[in-house]
Structure 1
């Protein structure tokens, strides 16, 4: 009996060893199969590492392509997503609190949004494959999500000149995504992000209820001190002008609940100097256009602060957003001739004051109120 028991245990141990040796290849086959079967995307993974003690597996070298931009051997294709390492694991901290949830850590990812000829596809349809892929790769509900040193690019190779606008050194941390709201705290989850773009900085702070049926969140974000000279390819391609100097800033707040939202976007440009009379272009219409753009910018510039800006209020429902363009025009005039808009987040929008309808203010009220 002892001999038989020893043999049985030996066989079990041997099978476990063999299973452990082949497990990475099994998981690799499964992941590559899931990537190959997506409708709008395709991709591949180079390798899989298994960490059984930690309850995790690590994807090494993942590449995802949009099918409408991919060639047969991927040589001329721009990948939609690449990442050297994705770590999917059980979150042990939450396990000690009685919850079986997952943690996702993505190191040095690069996300490319490439302008495509196919403009009629809805974003919701285009991203459904990726949501399904994440669910397949991580069967547990994700409670913590982290991105380290990522990049996001917008690329348009059909423009002239070609455009590549980016945010780099992007760090994102989302926590408590599976928490139910408690009394006094309707937004139990958090998301923070920061990054670098053209010498400027990006910061985002969100409190949300990730389990709500409708988007429910308080958000504020700011982009500060972006050097517009670095964006000259973008300005030439879409605005047909370029700049010698300029600093772009943007401040925004939004709140949402029960299918409705409210917020504003406040863009400000400081020390703008537009290129004019460029003889190398040799195009009289180009020269006239740049002169017109420069003259308009000078007209609506606050001379004291050397600043052009406005504030665009957006509210209503996600299906029927309402943009208050009249107020935005009035605030351009206010910034130029009366009082410069404040280069900061106003802390005026939150989930508790969403019911207060802002609407279009009267002309003089918008000009002379003390806000903004």
Structure 2
């Protein structure tokens, strides 16, 4: 019988190798490792250009917009890349470009892995946008266009960020509304916008029905804007609880806007707004409380405006004076909102009742009421006289329409 050969170990092979074979082996290893290192260096050098071409390709393929990025920085040590000097412009005339105000621009957008979430077992990303500016230009950015384009931009974010976004930050942003046909041209802006949205994918294990939070602050014409919201970022239907405050906006600084769209201006006055809203299972509820304080509308002045203008300003000023709470010098109302996301219901009679009540009885408290939350989409309370008189009849009409529609459907089935 033949004897089985015992396998030769690696050490024994090395000993059996000639000095020349050893040198060749070492040289081969050096070449392999050198090639890998050179390859990695070249990959690192060319990676920004590869990513830049990819990003610009995605921006160029947007349906209604055209975008361009000047530079890309790669930060491999923290799993991030930075988009520098991005500009997105609205396309006109079936895809051709026109020299216009950019819809969006930012000097820096940082997309990275959120390491705090990695330690909790989830690979998700975060985006930080520095000093973004968004411009809505009248007759160029219509409501229906913005709604349709939202899907475009959502897809763009998915393409640029390879992992699910869990945190989103905006630092020192601006939103402008521009009317280039107005005289003088209008540029109404909200500035110093700071936004932080966290736990968008519910990385933090929580039994809370609203695990994600969003906080936003901004400034507008000496007024302070604050938004606080809790929501479910993974829910297919809107599920949230939010409140909004805008305090002390100086109306005098908005006289160009008031002249253009309201055909009047003011000598003094501040505007404030308080709102709450909540939604779940496709339904929402809430209210909006606008306040005008110390309002002084410009009236009769022979040196400016024609007779129609003077008459209109006099009517506006008189109306404000009649409805104003004389003791506190403020005009306020409370507008209730309720309905579903396919049909919005605004209770106008309730709003009118609150105007009259504020004018002749008591002033509304200028603050959030904390009366709306996700478990309570409607406020409790008796209907006002105007609501009973008008809104009740309207509700009956709507109920009759629903009954008729049901009967028609039943007949069709038969």
Mapped to 1, the partners of 2:88 and 2:218 lie a distance apart of: 23
Match of 2:92, SS? helix
Tell whether 2:28 aligns with 1:12. Answer: no
Higher CA-based Rg: 2
Asked if 1:298 is matched to 2:324, the reply is no
Partner of 1:49: 73
Unaligned runs of 5+ in 2: 1-24, 389-414
Deviation at 1:73, TM superposition (A): 7.2
Q: Contact conserved, 1:69 with 1:78, CA < 8 A, in 2?
A: no
Q: 1:180 to 1:20 in 2, by over 3 A?
A: closer
**Superposed, which structure 2 residues align to 1:1-372 within 5 Å?**
1-68=25-92, 76-116=99-139, 119=142, 121-179=144-202, 184-354=207-377, 356=378, 361-363=383-385
Q: Where has structure 1 moved over 4 Å in runs of 4 or more?
A: 69-74, 117-120, 180-184, 356-360
Q: Secondary structure at the match of 2:77?
A: coil
In the alignment, the residues of structure 2 paired with residue 138 and residue 290 of structure 1 have an alpha-carbon distance, to the nearest angstrom, of 53
Task: Check conservation: 2:333, 2:351, Cα contact below 8 A.
Answer: yes
> Residue by residue, what CA displacement relative to the aligned partner does 1:322-367 show, whole Å, maximum 9, x if unpaired?
100000000000111101011000000000112x57698132899x
2:398 is matched with which residue? none
Distance 1:50 1:184, change over 3 A: closer
Mapped contact 2:267–2:296 kept (Cα < 8 A): yes
Greater helix share, structure number: 2
Deviations 1:282-312 (A, max 9, x none): 4001000000000000000001110011011
Compared CA separation, residues 203 and 70, structure 1 to 2 (3 A): farther
TM-score, normalised with respect to structure 1: 0.93
CA distance in 1, matches of 2:318, 2:165: 52
Name the CA shift for 1:137/1:121 in 2 (closer, same or farther; >3 Å): same
Tell me, in whole angstroms, the C-alpha distance in 2 between the residues paired with 1:293 and 1:360.
31
Contact 1:66 1:80 survives alignment (8 Å): yes
